[in-house]
Structures are given as structure tokens and as C-alpha cells.
Structure 1
């Protein structure tokens, strides 16, 4: 869990406070003035006495001093985080205790605002979520204790986004088990709509109510304390707020997944506007284990209604297509969605015109993770009704693409099976000569001729000569960049990456595709390729002391700004005007550093969803105006 890194500091604070009250866990010689002290009870060597004391403490939690109550809850929170499968507390009534605390917090505002009681709902909901994360029997006890209603109240916004975060987390865990799902499904329509709203609005709410409040003293104090655990200043608060806002979205999508995977509320979830928002929800670098929007879209594509609704949105289809031609960890999910749509006769001809242009570049893809022969599956899906150069689809452009796939994957493959080793070597030599001619034209600045020569080489090169084909595709992609044709550059670099071994490992193609995506304004796809490009330098032979190119680092900074989780929220709040220390300056007058700083807070985040059974960007134009220093990195 994301908070686990902070627990040790908090534990130290608890122990210090406990010592001050002569309730030390580590000084048995010191007497305690409280005969029902929870911490002293925890030290009791007699198991029966200790369990009876803990059970009594849970029953009397509402009647003890508010400072001690929060101190106990903080300690229970730490134990639930670090030992979520320990059955002792769940068997002694911790869930009933948390339910009573939540009900009191929600119904009695005066009590909630008394001293430190404002921390109670957060800790209580978090404890419930931690214990129900991995064990069904704990989840069953929690539901029997009545946790659903107060958690729903928190989700409804009875307090703040901070409590909504832990409430949706806990409800998501309860919905993960078939045995407890139905108890939540009683409120199905409300839960689904609440969760969709939470997923859509969380970034805007957290930014407006917390991050955009520049004066640290004006931020809600208990929010600051829970977010940072008393460590770090404004920057740390903003970084953690970004993580937590992203978690709200990821956990909301996880809860929606629990309904969708059971075929429930598909019609509600497939709202046209929500699907568009869903396609742009990105697990990304903040919560790198979450497939976010595409994970839910893939589940929807397993249902007939979901496929129809997804196929009706060109924006959603194009977003999935862009994902399928990226080095994102969830590339395979994008491909899965497209294959499901192509295999359904009700959606195939709605999407074929769009997806064929993208999937053509992936027909030679071998495997992604545990998925093998993906290229063959893509080829079969595209050519289902295409035989002997004919198709039922009446679109000249699509016909041309399908025919090219047929020639590449069927005709050319058959012809090469009988090719002798001598003939193969002759082809290799000829392709090498053509490549040299293309390189020569490139260096002379005749980019159009270079493209023609590289194309000639691609058409002549046997499929078995993968290394030669990778270079031809990648070099032609560079030419297309210089000709300001990013679509063609993406297509060629994707083809090179699809046949590289392992997949998506050809460094120059990653860099070229990253530039092409940047030119098209697809910052997320560009960022993933740029990160893979940099990773190649990080994992290189350390003895060589390989340095990461400065242009790639600069590109990363710009892309982090463009993919910042709060970017859209900030734009809405400021009406597209970027605030600065000088309100008289326009957006164009701000320095690069000022525009970048917000996006550089967070790179990694711990898992949040449990799984269950370049150089400085240069204008791309013709080589005649280029310097040779740029060309040195091109071919």
C-alpha cells in the first residue's frame, strides 16, 4: 500500500506519545494510570486476558478520551497495514467497532469536530479496507457488522475527498468477492453512478480543494497531516495529493470493474461521455500497476452491449488504437479490445475502417508478456472475410491494406519457404546495396529519394532477414519525421519494434516514434516510448558508463508536464490561463521551468489494486536546413 512507506515514522510518534503518558510499550517497570489501556493490554502475556481486554477496548472505544482514541486507531491502522491477514482483531469485533465510529462521525458533527476526532473516519475506513483486502472471511465479517452503509455515506460526500478515497477502496475490496458482492449490489445503481462520478471528478476536486491552495496554512490541517504524516513541506503534500487523487480514480475503476465483470450495470457504465473520459484515464506513472480506463473498456468489450457502445465512439476507438501501437505495459489490453470488436459481426464493420490502419503495423508481432502469436491473431481477425485478394468491405483504402497484409503474411511467406540459402544470401547483399544508396541520398539531403530506396529495400527484403528489415523501417521512419509526416513515421517505427527481439526493444525506433507521437500531440504514448528509450541506457553495460542523452531528459521533462494528472483540472480552474508569480505575464511568457515544475512531482507509486483467482524539440522539415550534428544520430 502507498502509505506503508510512512508507517515507521508514525509508529515512532505513537510510541513517543505513549511514553509521555507512562503507557510505554517498552518500559514494563513504569506503571500505567489507565487500567483499560489498549497498549498495556497488547503486552499482556496471557492470551485469554489479552483477547478479553482488546475486545472490551473495541466495545468502549466511543467512551474513551479523544486523544487516546485517535492514538489507538493510528496504531490499529498500522497493524492492519502491516498484518492484514492476522485474524485476531477481526475475530474480536474490530469491524463492529469501526462501524460505530463511522456512524458517530457521520451523524454527530459536534463530536466529529471535537479535538482529534476528525481523524477517526479516515482511520476507521482504512482499517476496514486493509483487513478485507485479501481474506474473504474478513470481508464477510465486515459486511455482517454493517460496514456498507457508513462507507456509502462517505462515498456520497458526507465528509471530504480524503474519506471518499478510503471508502471506495474498502467497497472495492468487498465487491471483489462473490460472497459479499451481493450485499453491495443492493445499492447497485447508486453505487455505480457515484463511482463513475468519483472517477471523473476526483482530479478536479483534489486540485481545487487542496493542490491549488498555495498558502499551506489555508489547506485543511488534518488533510495535510494524514497525507504527509508530519514529514515534508508543500512539495511533498502536492506529490502525495497527486498519488492519492490517482488512487481514487484507480480504485473507483476497480469497483466499476467488479460490476462490469459480472455483466451488471453495463448500460449505465457505457454512457457515451463516460466512455470518452474512460479512454483518457491512464494508470500511467503515478499508479503504474493499474490498467485504469483501458482495463474497464476491455471488460466492457467482453459484453455484446459494451462492444456496440464502444464501437460507436470514434474517439474511444482511436484511443485504443494508439495504445495498441505503443510501448505501454497495457498495449496488449488495447489489442485485446480491438480483436474482440473485430470478431463481433455487429461491430466489425463499424471499426474495421479505423483499426485496420493501426493493426497493419502489428501483424508481425510475436508475443507480449504471456500472450504469444499475437501477430497471427491480428492477421486472422483482419482477414476473416478476405480471400484471394477480395473482401466484403467496400472501401478502397481498407481493401488496399487488407491486400497488403495478404501479400505479406500469405503470398510472400509461401514464396520464401522454398528459398535456398544461396538465394537468401543474394537477397541480403542486394538489400544492403539498396540501403547504402538510400543512406547516401539521405546524407545528400534528398529525403524523397531516400524514402523510395528504403521502400524498395523493404519490398525486396525476405521476411527472415529481420535485422535488415528493422533498419530499413527505422531509417524510413526518420525520413518521414524530416518530411513532417508523423503518421508514416509511427507506422514504420512500430513495424520495426514489432519484429525486434524482444518486442519494443529497438532503441532508435523508440526514439523516432516518441518524436512522431510528440508531433501529433499524443503525450502519453510519446512519454512511454521515451522512457523505454532511456531505460535502454540505464540497463546498458555499467562498465561503459553510458550517459543518458540530454535531449531525451529534456523530452521527458516536457512530456511529464503534458501528462500531469492535474493538467485538465488546472486548465478548468484557471480558464486556460497558467498562474504564475507575476499575474501580469501571459502563458507564452512563462519560462520552461515554471511550466514543467508541476509535472515533475511523482514517478512511481505502490500497487493499489489487488489482483484476484530527444534533443530539444526541433522543427521537423527537410534536410536542406538541417545541421550535420542532428544527422549523426539519425541513421
Structure 2
């Protein structure tokens, strides 16, 4: 159909004459409030799409798009009848999203946006003048503006209020979206929310999936905005509120924004500041969460280790942290490389042994002194003694360790777990540091024994030691599986899930030629863990208990059902081997290859 509107935005966009086109677009931006409401929403939707696909194109920012967006958001907030007229309800979301997209990568666009007055209306949306949908795009846009030194001070005018609003939104985003959208009867959900989430396409399943994704993004963008203040040393004391730090330590990061460093990323920034280090060191719960992350296969494991090292190198926080952290860090002293970090084990060793001199400690805590002495023996004494060991002596030790391991395996299969533990321990002490494969098996098999003893802490410690000396780190399948079970027994669902997923990855990758299938027991474990680690799990639990329940993250062992405890034990024993289609002889060979207590 031929358009008869001489000021039609879409016709203007097709105008070949650049000067006429720019003049028409500029006029449209100025007169946006006078355009028919249905056409206005179509224009905004189109601008949103262009801003998303071409966020670095200078044309619209140079023609006044930011002032246009400011006028639209201000009108939406101040004129309720206008907002509720037709499709105007969509306008604040699209307008704020356009601002966020154009200010994402270009500081000159951010300066134009600031000069156009975008901050006050975005602050109104952050205050909850509309809903969580608009808060999502408001915090995104404010985070981008706060990223640049040129525009940060304009944001910092609202510093105290904005930081507190952002902290509250980060902590409650899952409950907010779950309570206001997910649990509602689909027919009673706010229509424009549904349309924005699915772009008008998709049913209930799509709506629920996107709601979880958006709630996660709210949290990610809140963390980014807080990071912009923390990295400049601003509002550290406010962000280090003890309750918020606890919330922060359990924030996963993005379901879609995979590069988001989660809550631990912000904690690490706080640990670069003396006030932040003091506050973090005062919370046992936060420290334990960081420590658990340091002994996991999570992508952000290295960030947790960074936090602990920063705390240990500060003499004002060292002794508050050392007692808790030493148990965890001792299992990591042999890590060579983790991500881009090299010689990480050496750095951990130096941090632990600051108070040591010639094998003597000034620390009076007996358990802590024992850990530090073991660190000294393993990393200093034993390493020094083995430097001059001949190849013949090394081979002699290898044979002796092999015999001890066979004795331990025999005891294990006879059900004499106590003797098996003693023998594996004897093998660990005797085994030279250079015999990494042998040591991995000894540690991993002893971890298996501890699982049967119902001692998850010892199992986690041994499995972590095995994974620390595997090459690359966290690549020994059996140790991953055993640590996953141990974390499950302790109620640490997130750490258990990470190890279980890594186990499956290593397991399948190692047997690509035979097209290995994911073991049933691992699939079953993941199903249980996904329920516990679902983004809305804590919100669901809290709602079910009328707001009185704490997060499912970090449940105590006693909170798992008896059936779950029994199943965890069964998984420990029944590590089903692959069954090849090459007859009984082939099955026997393969069963031996994957049996629990054999060498890798």
C-alpha cells in the first residue's frame, strides 16, 4: 500500500537524499509525543531493533535520539492516563533500552545521553515507578553510563541512593520476578510483560524461560553497576553490608551473560580495598562460600583464590582468615596453572608460609600449625630431598608404591575400608612428587573410602588434591565425580553441580571414539541438582514457607532426605562401567579399566 503520510518515519528512513532523510528523522524525534500512539510504538520498536543491531552507528545519537527518549520516559512517568492509553505502556521499556544500547560501547554517545538528561528518568524507573521490566533496562543503561570516567560523576550525584537501590534489586531480583510473574496464572500475567519477553511469540514455556533469563540479567547488570563504584573505591562501606555480602557470595552470575563474574567478581574488587577486606574477613559465612568456590571446578575458581590471597597478604585480616582458609588452600598448593594464572600453587604456598621460618611457626593454633607444617614438608623439605633422587631410586619407589596400592585395593574390595585408608595414606607419604599419576590415583581412591565412611570433608580434600595435580587442572574424571558426591552430601548443590557437569565433559571427551553415553547415575544426579540450583529455587522455597526460609544454596547435610543420602551412597559404589558390544572378554577388560580402585 502507498503511504499518504508526508511525515511517516518509515518512509523517511527510505529517503535516498541524506539531507532530507536526516531532517525528517530529527523532526520525528522532536514531535514523537504528537504522533499516533500505535505508530509511535512501532517507531520505538524499530529504533530498539536498530540500536540493538547497530549500537555504534552515530546517525541517531547525532540527531537527538537521547532527548527524544528522555521526553518519552518522563511523559510515561508523569502522565498515568497517557501511559495507559493504547500501547504507550511499551514505551518506557523501549526508550530505556535504546539508551542502554547506544551507550554500551561509545563514551561519546554516553556523554550525549548525559547531556540530554537521561539520568533522572532512569533513576525514577530504578525507584520502581513502573515495574521490574523497566528496572531491568534502567540498571543496564545506568551501568553503561557509570562505566566511563566522563559520565561517572553525573551518576555519582545519586551515589548513595543508587547504590542502595541496586543492592536491593540484586538481592531480590529472583524473588521479584518469580513472585510477580512466574507463579501467576499465565492468563493473569501482565500482557505487555509477556509480549516484551517473548516478542509476541511463544507460549508458557517460552515465557518462563525468558523470565528466568531476564531475572538473571537484572542481577548481572546490578553487579556491573556496583562494580563501577567499587572499582573506584566508592561506597565500599555501603556495599559491604554484611547481609548483602552473604547474598553476594551466592550470586551465580549470568545464565546468558556467561562473562559475568558473578558475586565473587564484586567480592574480589572489594578485597582490593582495605575497608572491603576488613568487612569480608568479618563474615564467616562469606569466607566459607569463597573457600568452597576455591575448591570447585567453577569457571570463577581463580577469583575465589585471588580473594583469599588478598586477605592473607593483609596483616589486619590475615589471622581472621588463615584459620578457615588454610584447610582449603592446602589442597591447592600443587596447582600449576589455572586459566591465565601460572605458578598459582607457589603463590598459595608463600601466602600460607608467611609466618614460617625454617619449618617453625609462630602460630599457636595446633590444627593450623599442623597444616602449615605439612605445607612446609610437602613444598619445601620433600621437594628439596627429591631433587637429587636418581632414576633408579625413583623406579624403586614406584614399585613400592604400586605394591602398597594393590594391598589397599585388596582391602577395599574385602570391605576393610579402615585398612585401605591406612594403606593409601602410606602410599601417599612414600610416593615421590614426580609420580603424579600414581599420586592422583592414591588420593582419588582414598577419597572413595572417605565417601563410604560418610566423611565428605575428607573426600573433598583428597579429590581436590588429585584434581590439583591432574593435567590440566580439574580433569580427572573419577575425582570430579567423587567430589561432586561429597559436595552433594554436604548440601552444597552449586559446587556439586559444577563438578558433575565437568565430570560428564571429561568422561565423554575421553571416550569419543566409542561414542560414550552419559552415565545414568550422572544424569540422575544432575536432575536433582538442577532443581536445587534453579535460579528461582530460593524464591520458590521462600514463597512456600511464607518468606521465612533461607536460600536452598548451602543447605546443611541434615536437610537432605534419607532417600537422597542413601542414593548418594549407592552412586559412590555403583560406578557403572561401559559395556562394549564385543563379547564377554571385551566386557571384562573394559570393566577392569573403569573399576574404582584401579590405576587410571
TM-score (norm 1): 0.87
User: Deviations for 1:532-563, whole angstroms, at most 9, x for unmatched residues?
Assistant: 01112443454311111011111111111001
Deviation at 1:443, TM superposition (A): 0.8
1:128 maps to what in 2? 99
Deviation at 1:236, TM superposition (A): 1.1
For the 8 Å contact 1:447–1:622, the answer to whether it is kept is no
2:456 matched to 1:486? Answer: yes
2:569 maps to what in 1? 620
1:71 maps to what in 2? 42
2:273 matched to 1:303? Answer: yes
Deviation at 1:65, TM superposition (A): 0.6
Structure 2 residue corresponding to 1:422, chosen from 375, 389, 392: 392
User: Deviations for 1:119-165, whole angstroms, at most 9, x for unmatched residues?
Assistant: 00000000000000000000010000000000000000000000000
Deviation at 1:368, TM superposition (A): 1.0
Q: Secondary structure at the match of 1:620?
A: helix
Deviation at 1:288, TM superposition (A): 2.9
2:234 maps to what in 1? 264
Q: Secondary structure at the match of 2:569?
A: coil
Structure 2 CA distance, aligned partners of 1:408 and 1:277?
37
Range 119-128 or range 538-547, more displaced: 538-547
Deviation at 1:272, TM superposition (A): 1.1
Structure 2 CA distance, aligned partners of 1:616 and 1:284?
31
For the 8 Å contact 2:110–2:151, the answer to whether it is kept is yes
Structure 2 residue corresponding to 1:358, chosen from 308, 328, 331: 328
Q: Secondary structure at the match of 2:386?
A: helix
2:126 maps to what in 1? 155
Deviation at 1:394, TM superposition (A): 1.3
Structure 1 CA distance, aligned partners of 2:531 and 2:208?
15
User: Deviations for 1:565-616, whole angstroms, at most 9, x for unmatched residues?
Assistant: 11111122121799xxxxxxxxxxxxx9xxxxxxxxxxxxxxxxxxxxxx99
Structure-2 change in CA distance of 1:498 and 1:201 (3 Å): same
How many correspondences in the alignment? 568
Structure 2 CA distance, aligned partners of 1:539 and 1:57?
57
For the 8 Å contact 2:519–2:576, the answer to whether it is kept is no
CA RMSD between the two structures: 1.9
Q: Which has the higher contact order (CA 8 A, sep 6+)?
A: 1
For the 8 Å contact 2:73–2:121, the answer to whether it is kept is yes
Q: Secondary structure at the match of 2:567?
A: coil
Q: Secondary structure at the match of 2:409?
A: helix
1:143 maps to what in 2? 114
Match runs of 1:407-446 below 5 Å: 407-446=377-416
Q: Secondary structure at the match of 1:282?
A: coil
Structure 1 residue corresponding to 2:144, chosen from 169, 173, 176: 173
Q: Secondary structure at the match of 1:158?
A: coil
Q: Secondary structure at the match of 2:342?
A: coil
2:216 matched to 1:246? Answer: yes
For the 8 Å contact 1:58–1:93, the answer to whether it is kept is yes
Deviation at 1:273, TM superposition (A): 0.9
2:290 maps to what in 1? 320
Structure-2 change in CA distance of 1:416 and 1:526 (3 Å): same
User: Deviations for 1:315-369, whole angstroms, at most 9, x for unmatched residues?
Assistant: 0000000000000000000000000000000000011100000000000001111
Structure-2 change in CA distance of 1:618 and 1:212 (3 Å): same
Structure-2 change in CA distance of 1:617 and 1:74 (3 Å): farther
Structure-2 change in CA distance of 1:616 and 1:400 (3 Å): closer
> Runs of 5+ in structure 2 lacking a partner?
549-560, 578-590
Structure-2 change in CA distance of 1:629 and 1:57 (3 Å): closer
Structure-2 change in CA distance of 1:192 and 1:629 (3 Å): closer
Structure-2 change in CA distance of 1:282 and 1:622 (3 Å): closer
2:319 matched to 1:349? Answer: yes
2:415 matched to 1:451? Answer: no
Structure 1 CA distance, aligned partners of 2:355 and 2:534?
43
Structure 2 residue corresponding to 1:559, chosen from 498, 511, 529: 529
For the 8 Å contact 2:104–2:144, the answer to whether it is kept is yes
Structure 2 CA distance, aligned partners of 1:285 and 1:42?
36
Structure 1 CA distance, aligned partners of 2:307 and 2:402?
39
Structure 1 residue corresponding to 2:207, chosen from 231, 237, 247: 237
TM-score (norm 2): 0.92
